[in-house]
């Protein structure tokens, strides 16, 4: 008995084969939950050895909960369609399951962005930790339209693998702007309503604060000119979320 891996996709042909190949020999099964790709995502998934299930898009967390339910094992690994396991992480996961089922109910994976330029190495910054390998009987993704992070159970120690999940998060800025536009629309439609006064304050003053948070606190300053551009894009994404939330209220008045 091992684990299942499930991947949610829509138009992820760019990196999906590498994602599946990085986990195919570790997992008992690889399942792709596709929400209507019109590129070669489904063909690539099938030829790479994954089982493909179509499921119309209900939201980020809800789609991942559906993916959990399709797995035949209680232990599951979740990856996005642009997240590839590094060789070091593959070895750690293989060793974890070599002695049987893991002793803890969940494990944290460090996800590291790989910029679409240069030598293809992951950035030393812009890394996030998420529970992605877990026992679905103990923890699960939230049934939410935009939130898809698993909450850490109380009294469970945080164990993080040393190896990285390599996140090929964007092809170029045009690709990322398209993703940003869809995501901020979903956020504006599903986050709790905020007062027009608070939204107005964020409209005028949020952009520089968000830029500095990304550029300095998240370490994008180490990425040179490209890091500066990514920090600007982060701040712009937050700005567009605010504007779309305001639009939602304007159209209802």
Domain limits of the chain? 4-167, 173-251
- In terms of CATH, what superfamily is 4-167? Spore Coat Polysaccharide Biosynthesis Protein SpsA; Chain A (3.90.550.10)
CB distance 59 to 144 below 8 Å: yes
What CA–CA distances, in Å, run from 56 to 9, 15, 59, 190? 11, 21, 9, 18
- Note the pLDDT of residue 49: 97
| CA gyration radius, the chain | 19
DSSP 8-state code for residue 151: P
- Note the pLDDT of residue 224: 86
**Residue among 55, 54, 244, 61 at smallest CA distance from 145:** 61
Run of H or E including 34: strand 29-34
Per the structure block, which two tokens stand in for 45? 């998934």
- Note the pLDDT of residue 193: 83
Residue 59 falls in which region: left (phi positive, over 0), alpha (psi -120 to 50) or beta: left
- Inter-axis angle of helices 196-212 and 224-251, nearest 10: 170
Low-confidence ranges of the chain (pLDDT < 70): 1, 118, 252-253
Matching residue, tokens 């993916």: 67
């Amino acid at each position: 008995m091992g684990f299942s891996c499930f991947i949610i996709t829509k138009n992820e042909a760019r990196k999906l084969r590498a994602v599946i190949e990085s986990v195919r020999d570790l997992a008992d099964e690889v399942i792709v939950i596709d929400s209507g790709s019109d590129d070669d995502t489904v063909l690539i998934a099938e030829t790479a050895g994954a089982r493909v299930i179509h499921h119309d898009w209900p939201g980020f967390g809800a789609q991942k909960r559906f993916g959990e339910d399709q797995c035949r094992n209680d232990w599951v690994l979740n990856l996005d369609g642009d997240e590839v396991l590094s060789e070091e992480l593959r070895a750690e996961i293989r060793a974890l399951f070599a002695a049987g089922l893991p002793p803890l109910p969940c494990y944290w994976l460090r996800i590291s962005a790989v910029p679409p330029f240069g030598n293809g190495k992951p950035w030393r910054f812009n890394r996030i930790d998420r529970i992605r390998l877990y026992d679905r009987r103990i923890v699960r993704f939230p049934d939410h339209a935009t939130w898809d992070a698993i909450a850490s159970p109380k009294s469970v120690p945080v164990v993080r693998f040393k190896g990285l999940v390599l996140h090929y998060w964007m092809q170029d800025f045009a690709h990322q702007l398209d993703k940003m536009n869809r995501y901020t629309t979903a956020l504006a439609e599903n986050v709790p309503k905020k007062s027009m006064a608070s939204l107005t304050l964020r409209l005028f003053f949020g952009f520089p604060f968000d830029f500095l948070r990304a550029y300095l606190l998240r370490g994008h300053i180490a990425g040179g000119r490209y890091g500066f551009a990514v920090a600007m894009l982060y701040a712009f994404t937050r700005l567009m979320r605010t504007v779309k939330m305001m639009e939602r209220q304007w159209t209802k008045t």
